[in-house]
Amino acid sequence: MKSFADIIEDIKDIISKEIGGKKVFDKDVADVLGISRMNFATMKKRNKIPFNELLDFCAKRSISINWLLYNQSPESLVEATNRYYKIRYFSDISASAGGGSDVDVEDSIELELDENFISYLGGKEELKNIEALKVTGDSMEPTFSYDDIVFINRAKNVLNRGGVYVIKTEGGLFIKRLLPRIDAKVDVISDNDIYPIQTLGTNELEIVGKVVAKFGEVS
């Protein structure tokens, strides 16, 4: 994935073409993305990519988000965007890597993905099972960070062996690493080791689906 600084330069090229070739500055990109200029400067310095804002930017211009995040020139965007697939993205639902998230919101938007990204999701035949949502909290860092977009396969909702899953408990919706135990219970693990391992019975959690990708492959 490109750095946020590189993504900014591509956005500048796109905006420049829209306004007749005029020079575009960082402050203009911040304004277009709807991010305060102070926060924008901090995000650029820390290489923190604002996925939600980029999704909105791409949606308004019918650009596949994958073409902005990876090494594709602005000149190739029109041709490339003709080869994309759509999945549901629940922009108002978060899988918490922390204290639990609300799961009552059901509105979704269509997220456009380039065909080169589909292999991360298991291939075209799996797309009917794929949905996307965002991450909040820090308990799964460094694997997942706040506002990362993750892709889950709802058909993979049986825990046969360890992996990263989105689960629903009485506390909300969580993204956690699960490990089945020989006593038929499940260890619920946070990748950030400052958080303790929890052990739940299978009747205390519902597996929504397995996390198969973010914008990049998940190990």
pLDDT in tens, 140-199: 988 888 878 889 999 999 998 889 999 998 888 899 999 999 999 999 999 999 999 999
CATH of the domain at 74: 1.10.260
Please count the structural domains in the chain. 2
Q: What was the pLDDT predicted at 156?
A: 94
Q: What's 13's DSSP letter?
A: H
- Measured between alpha carbons, how far is 148 from 138 in angstroms, rounded to an integer? 11
Q: Are 166 and 133 in contact (CB under 8 A)?
A: yes
* Residue after which a domain boundary falls, among 42, 67, 82: 82
Is residue 100 over pLDDT 70?
Answer: no
* Residue after which a domain boundary falls, among 82, 110, 126: 82
- Tell me: do 40 and 117 sit in the same domain: no
Q: What was the pLDDT predicted at 16?
A: 92
Q: Is 109 helix (H, G, I), strand (E, B) or coil?
A: strand
- Tell me: do 169 and 217 sit in the same domain: yes
- Tell me: do 147 and 214 sit in the same domain: yes
Say what the pTM is. Answer: 0.65
Average pLDDT score over the chain: 82
- Confidence band (pLDDT; 50, 70, 90) for 59? confident
Q: What was the pLDDT predicted at 56?
A: 80
- Tell me: do 53 and 98 sit in the same domain: no
- How many DSSP H helices and E strands does the chain contain? 6, 10
* Residue after which a domain boundary falls, among 82, 104, 122: 82
- Measured between alpha carbons, how far is 145 from 171 in angstroms, rounded to an integer? 20
Average confidence (pLDDT) over 114-121: 77
- Tell me: do 96 and 55 sit in the same domain: no
Strands 149-153 and 130-136: what pairing?
antiparallel
- Tell me: do 32 and 114 sit in the same domain: no
Q: What was the pLDDT predicted at 71?
A: 62
pLDDT in tens, 41-55: 999 998 988 887 888
Q: Is the peptide bond before 50 cis (omega within 30 degrees of 0)?
A: no
- Tell me: do 206 and 158 sit in the same domain: yes
- Measured between alpha carbons, how far is 143 from 28 in angstroms, rounded to an integer? 32
Q: What was the pLDDT predicted at 95?
A: 66
- Tell me: do 76 and 125 sit in the same domain: no
Find the domain containing 26 and state its range: 1-82
- Tell me: do 128 and 211 sit in the same domain: yes
- Confidence band (pLDDT; 50, 70, 90) for 66? confident
- Tell me: do 100 and 205 sit in the same domain: yes
CATH of the domain at 110: 2.10.109.10
- Tell me: do 107 and 191 sit in the same domain: yes
